[in-house]
Amino acid sequence: MDSNQENKSLMIFIILLIVLFLASCGPVVLSTRIGEPPPPWFYPNRLEVVRYVYFPEYSFYYDLTARAYIYLDGGVWVRRNVLPVRYRNINLNKARYERVRNYNDENIRRYHQENNTNRGRSNRTVPRSSTRRN
């Protein structure tokens, strides 16, 4: 084998090792803030672009881009770097959350009204009248 062929084989082997190493590192999260990893409770299982994460049991959001929690405080949506006292006992590593896909707008209130306002409610709680209307 000539040295040019050996160099090509060595380069292909090195590139293959690098690709295998990077593939084994786990998921990659894309964010507009370079250098800051996502919070420890957020560990996606694949490459995806997500701005918001919703915690349905507690009805608050986390903005991965702004690194801020968004929640209702007295009927007004607020953004804070830390959760208020009422949420302090929550273990976010174990809490269920949902990724808000395909929504990057600043106004999470509109998204919440369109997608989560009636979440968890059932028709069974509404009393039915004994007479039917046609």
Domain boundaries defined on the chain: 11-118
When pLDDT is averaged across residues 72-80 and rounded to a whole number, the result is 92
- Most confident option among 38-47, 89-98, 106-115: 89-98
What is the predicted pLDDT for the residue at 83?
A: 92
Answer whether 95's CB lies under 8 Å from 55's CB: yes
**pLDDT tens digits along 7-65:** 888 888 888 777 766 665 555 554 555 566 677 776 655 556 788 999 999 999 999 88
Q: How far is 14 from 9, CA to CA, in rounded Å?
A: 9
Question: Which residue, among 91, 111, 87, has the nearest Cα to 99 in the 3D structure?
Answer: 111
pLDDT band of residue 132 (cuts 50, 70, 90) is: very low
Percent of the chain with pLDDT strictly greater than 70: 64
Quickly tell me which residue has 């953004």 as its tokens.
79
Question: Which residue, among 44, 92, 96, 102, has the nearest Cα to 69 in the 3D structure?
Answer: 92
- 104 residue type, one letter: N
What is the predicted pLDDT for the residue at 130?
A: 45
| 128, pLDDT greater than 50 | no
- Answering whether pTM is above 0.75, one says no
Q: Which helix (H) or strand (E) holds 33?
A: none
pLDDT band of residue 5 (cuts 50, 70, 90) is: confident
